[in-house]
C-alpha cells in the first residue's frame, strides 16, 4: 500500500478544505450575477448586497433586531443581506432567491415578536427595506404613498409636517415598520374612531413570487384583501402602501390616571370593562396593569394606569367622562390639551417636551429582551376573578405587564370578513401580555417565558374560546408552527391560523394557492396553500 508523503498530505488537506470555500464563493458569485441581471442596470445592486465577508455585515444585520432575545452568535445568519434602493432590486432578490433555493425573510422595522423577519433554520436571504422609506403626503386628497421600509414614526412626522388636522390611525410605538404593521392590522389610539391601520389602506405595490410588480388593480381584490391583515410576507414582498389620512382636530386631550389596589383599582378596572367599548368613539382609554413596589418594604401591589386620548378639547371631555365613567373622578388638572402629533409622543413615552424629531429614530431605546402574547376578551372579568388574577401576578419576583386596549366604535361596525383581521363586534378589548427582562442567557429566557406561559394558561377561562383568539402582530409561536416548506399542512396550520384569523383563514389559504402555490414565501407562521 502506498502512503502519501507529508508534503502531499498537507497539499491534499488544503485542497479538501478549500472545496467548501470555493463552492461558497461560486454560489455567491452566481447569485450576485443573477441579481445584476434582473435588476436595473443604472442603479447597481451590488452596492447593496452584503455577505459575511463584508465588514459592515454584522452591523447591518443587528441594526433592526429589536428583541435582544434573538441577538445571539449561535443564531443562523443569512447568506446575503440585500438593502434595495429601487423596486427592481426587490424583484431581482425574489427571482434570484427562488432560482438558488434560498428562503426570503423580509424586514421592515425588525419588530416581529418571534424574530421571523431575520431568522431561519435553512439557507436564507434578508431583504431589508431600510432604504425604501420615502413618504409622499398629499393632504389635498387625504392620502399618502408610503414605502414599506418607513417606520410609523416617520409617517406621523411627515403627516404632521404638512398638516395639523390630518393623522393616521396606527400604533403607539414609532419605531415599528409599516411593512409589517399595516399587513398585520395595526391597532392604535384612533381605532375606535377610524378602525385599524389596515382598514385605511387604499392601494399597494407588491412583488409577487414571479418577480412582477403588482398594484391593487393588477393583483386583484382577493390578494389585496389578503395583505390587509393577513400578513403580507405570505404572499410577496410589499414595497409600498397608499393610505387614507383621517381628520384630527387641532386640539386633542391626553391624560393618565394611576391607581393601586389600595386606591380601588379593582373596582375601576371592572367598571372600565363594562363601559370602555361603549365610550364616545373619539375617546380611547387603555389600561396598563403592572406589579409595583408597595408602600412598605418588601411588599408589592398591582397598579393600573388609565391612559387616554380624546379627539377634542377638555371642555368636551370632562362632561363625557362625568357621564360615562364618573368613578374615575377625572379632573382638569389630570389632563393636557395638545396637538395630535404631540399625543403620539405622549403615548410613545416622550413626556418631557421632546421635539417631534425623535419620531425619526428607527431604533428602540433601550432595546429589550422580551416575550409577548395576546388575547381577546368578550365579557367582563368579575371583581372576584380579578382579585384571584392579582394573586397569580403577585407570585414570585418576575413581574408581568398587561396592556388592555378597548374596542367598540368603528371596530364593531366593520364586518369580520371585511379584512383578514376578524376581531370585531363582540370583543370588549384585547390583552397584550408583556414580559421583559435584562438578564442574558438561555436559563434566564426559559425562566421568564415559563412565567409568561403560566399566566397565559391561568387566563384561559376569562378570554375568548373556540378558538382562543390572538393578534397576528403580537406573533406567538407557542400557538403552533408550520412544517417546513412544501410539507406545510393546511389542517395542521389551522390550529394556529384560526386563532389569528378565525374563519378568514380558509380564504387566506385559497388566495395563497392562487398566488404562491409552491409555497415559496414560507415561514413558521406563513399562510399555507389550501389543501384538503
Cell of 68: 435582544
Predicted confidence at residue 468, as pLDDT, reads 99
Domain with 198, as residue range(s), is: 135-248+475-515
- 211 and 191 in a common domain: yes
Q: How far, in Å, CA of 174 to CA of 155, rounded?
A: 9
- 192 and 122 in a common domain: no
How many other C-beta atoms can be found within 10 angstroms of the C-beta atom of residue 198?
Answer: 26
Whether 10 is covered by a domain: the verdict is no
Predicted confidence at residue 12, as pLDDT, reads 42
- 465 and 392 in a common domain: yes
CATH of the domain at 441: 3.40.462.20
Predicted confidence at residue 365, as pLDDT, reads 76
What are phi and psi for residue 74, nearest 5 degrees?
-85, -10
Predicted confidence at residue 236, as pLDDT, reads 99
- 261 and 208 in a common domain: no
Three-state DSSP at 234 gives helix
- 196 and 75 in a common domain: no
What are phi and psi for residue 224, nearest 5 degrees?
-60, -40
Whether 425 is covered by a domain: the verdict is yes
Write down which residue in 131, 148, 178 finishes a domain. 131
Whether 354 is covered by a domain: the verdict is no
Q: How far, in Å, CA of 84 to CA of 104, rounded?
A: 14
Whether 36 is covered by a domain: the verdict is yes
- 388 and 312 in a common domain: yes
The full 3-state SS of 362-414, as one line of letters, equals CCCCCCEEEEEEEEEECCCCCHHHHHHHHHHHCCCCCCCEEEEEECCCHHHHC
Instruction: Find where cell 384560526 sits.
Output: 498
- Distances from the Cα of 376 to the Cαs of 45, 280, 291, 459, 487, in angstroms? 44, 21, 21, 11, 31
Whether 104 is covered by a domain: the verdict is yes
Q: Shortest CA distance to 513 belongs to which of 291, 196, 222, 304?
A: 222
Question: What pLDDT digit, counting tens, does each position of 468-503 carry?
Answer: 999 999 999 999 999 886 678 999 999 999 999 999
How many other C-beta atoms can be found within 10 angstroms of the C-beta atom of residue 20?
Answer: 9
CATH of the domain at 243: 3.30.465.10
Cell of 205: 405595490
* CB-based contacts of 135, cutoff 8 Å, min separation 6: 144, 145, 146, 147, 150, 154, 155, 158
Predicted confidence at residue 40, as pLDDT, reads 85
Instruction: Find where cell 507529508 sits.
Output: 6
Structural domain total, the chain: 3
Helix, strand, coil distribution of the chain in percent, nearest 5 = 40, 20, 40
Q: Are 339 and 252 in contact (CB under 8 A)?
A: yes
Write down which residue in 114, 131, 148 finishes a domain. 131
- 115 and 181 in a common domain: no
- 446 and 430 in a common domain: yes
Predicted confidence at residue 53, as pLDDT, reads 93
* CB-based contacts of 470, cutoff 8 Å, min separation 6: 373, 374, 375, 376, 476, 479, 499, 500
The full 3-state SS of 103-146, as one line of letters, equals EEEEECCCCCCCCCCCCCCCCEEEEEHHHCCCEEEECCCCEEEE
- 426 and 394 in a common domain: yes
Predicted confidence at residue 7, as pLDDT, reads 52
CATH of the domain at 56: 3.30.43.10
- 102 and 62 in a common domain: yes
Instruction: Find where cell 388638572 sits.
Output: 333
Side-chain-facing half-sphere of 241: CA atoms under 13 Å: 30
- 312 and 446 in a common domain: yes
Predicted confidence at residue 41, as pLDDT, reads 82
pLDDT tens for the chain, residues 1 to 532: 444 445 554 444 444 444 444 446 777 899 999 999 999 889 999 999 999 999 999 999 999 999 999 998 889 999 999 999 999 999 999 999 999 999 999 999 999 999 999 999 999 999 999 999 999 999 999 999 999 999 999 999 999 999 999 999 999 999 999 999 999 999 999 999 999 999 999 999 999 999 999 999 999 999 999 999 999 999 999 999 999 999 999 999 999 999 999 999 999 999 999 999 999 999 999 999 999 999 888 899 999 999 999 999 999 999 999 999 999 999 999 999 999 999 999 999 998 888 999 999 998 778 889 999 999 999 999 999 999 999 999 998 999 999 999 999 999 999 999 999 999 999 999 999 999 999 999 999 999 999 999 999 999 999 999 999 999 999 999 999 998 866 789 999 999 999 999 999 999 999 999 999 999 999 999 999 998 6
Whether 342 is covered by a domain: the verdict is no
Whether 13 is covered by a domain: the verdict is no
Residues across the chain = 532
Predicted confidence at residue 13, as pLDDT, reads 46
Write down which residue in 469, 498, 525 finishes a domain. 469
Beta bridge partners of 253: 310, 337
Residues 487, 488, 490, 495, Cα dihedral to 10° = 130
Whether 330 is covered by a domain: the verdict is yes
- 448 and 402 in a common domain: yes
Predicted confidence at residue 531, as pLDDT, reads 81
Where does residue 7 rank: exposed (0-12), middle (13-18), buried (19+ CB within 10 A)? exposed
Burial 345-375 (b: 16+ CB within 10 A, else e): bbbbebeeeeebeebeebebeeeebbbbbbb
Predicted confidence at residue 513, as pLDDT, reads 97
Amino acid at each position: 500500500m502506498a502512503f502519501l508523503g507529508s508534503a502531499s498530505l498537507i497539499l491534499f488537506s488544503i485542497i479538501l478544505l478549500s472545496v467548501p470555500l470555493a463552492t461558497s464563493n461560486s454560489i455567491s458569485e452566481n447569485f450576485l450575477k443573477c441579481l445584476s441581471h434582473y435588476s436595473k442596470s443604472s442603479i447597481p445592486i451590488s452596492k447593496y448586497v452584503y455577505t459575511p465577508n463584508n465588514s459592515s455585515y454584522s452591523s447591518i444585520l443587528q441594526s433592526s433586531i429589536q428583541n435582544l432575545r434573538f441577538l445571539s452568535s449561535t443564531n443562523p445568519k443569512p447568506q446575503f443581506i440585500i438593502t434595495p434602493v429601487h423596486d427592481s432590486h426587490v424583484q431581482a432578490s425574489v427571482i434570484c432567491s427562488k432560482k438558488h433555493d434560498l428562503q426570503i425573510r423580509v424586514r421592515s422595522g425588525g419588530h416581529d415578536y418571534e424574530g421571523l423577519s431575520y431568522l431561519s433554520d435553512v439557507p436564507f436571504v434578508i431583504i431589508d427595506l431600510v432604504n425604501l422609506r420615502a413618504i409622499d403626503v398629499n393632504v389635498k386628497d387625504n392620502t399618502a404613498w408610503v414605502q414599506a421600509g418607513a417606520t410609523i414614526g416617520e409617517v406621523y412626522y411627515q403627516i404632521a409636517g404638512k398638516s395639523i388636522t390630518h393623522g393616521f390611525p396606527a400604533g403607539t410605538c414609532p419605531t415599528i415598520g409599516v411593512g409589517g404593521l399595516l399587513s398585520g392590522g395595526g391597532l392604535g389610539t384612533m381605532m375606535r374612531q377610524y378602525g385599524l391601520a389596515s382598514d385605511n389602506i387604499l392601494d399597494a405595490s407588491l412583488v409577487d413570487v414571479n418577480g412582477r410588480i403588482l398594484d391593487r388593480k393588477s393583483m386583484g381584490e382577493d390578494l389585496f384583501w389578503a395583505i390587509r391583515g393577513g400578513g403580507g410576507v405570505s404572499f410577496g414582498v410589499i414595497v409600498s402602501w397608499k393610505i387614507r389620512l383621517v381628520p384630527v382636530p387641532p386640539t386633542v386631550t391626553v391624560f393618565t390616571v394611576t391607581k393601586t389596589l389600595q386606591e380601588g383599582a379593582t373596582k375601576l378596572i371592572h367598571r372600565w370593562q363594562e363601559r370602555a367599548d361603549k365610550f364616545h368613539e373619539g375617546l380611547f382609554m387603555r389600561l396598563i396593569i403592572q406589579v409595583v413596589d408597595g408602600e412598605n418594604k418588601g411588599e408589592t401591589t398591582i397598579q393600573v394606569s388609565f391612559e387616554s386620548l380624546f379627539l377634542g378639547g377638555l371642555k368636551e371631555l370632562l362632561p363625557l367622562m362625568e357621564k360615562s365613567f364618573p368613578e374615575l373622578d377625572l379632573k382638569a388638572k389630570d389632563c393636557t390639551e395638545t396637538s395630535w402629533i404631540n399625543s403620539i409622543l405622549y403615548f410613545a413615552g416622550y413626556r418631557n417636551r421632546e421635539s417631534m424629531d425623535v419620531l425619526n429614530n428607527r431604533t428602540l431605546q433601550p432595546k429589550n429582551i422580551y416575550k409577548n402574547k395576546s388575547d381577546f376578551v368578550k365579557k367582563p372579568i368579575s371583581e372576584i376573578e380579578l382579585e384571584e388574577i392579582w394573586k397569580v401576578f403577585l407570585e414570585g419576583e418576575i413581574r408581568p405587564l398587561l396592556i388592555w386596549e378597548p374596542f367598540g366604535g368603528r371596530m364593531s361596525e366593520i364586518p369580520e370578513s371585511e379584512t383578514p383581521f376578524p376581531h370585531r363586534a363582540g370583543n370588549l378589548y384585547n390583552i397584550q401580555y408583556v414580559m421583559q427582562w435584562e438578564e442574558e442567557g438561555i436559563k434566564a429566557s426559559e425562566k421568564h417565558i415559563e412565567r409568561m406561559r403560566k399566566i397565559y394558561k391561568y387566563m384561559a377561562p376569562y378570554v375568548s374560546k373556540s378558538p382562543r383568539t390572538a393578534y397576528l402582530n403580537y406573533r406567538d409561536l407557542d400557538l403552533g408552527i408550520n412544517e417546513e416548506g412544501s410539507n406545510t399542512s393546511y389542517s395542521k396550520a389551522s390550529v394556529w391560523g384560526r386563532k389569528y384569523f378565525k374563519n378568514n383563514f380558509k380564504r387566506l389559504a385559497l388566495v395563497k394557492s392562487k398566488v404562491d402555490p409552491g409555497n415559496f414565501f414560507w415561514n413558521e407562521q406563513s399562510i399555507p396553500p389550501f389543501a384538503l
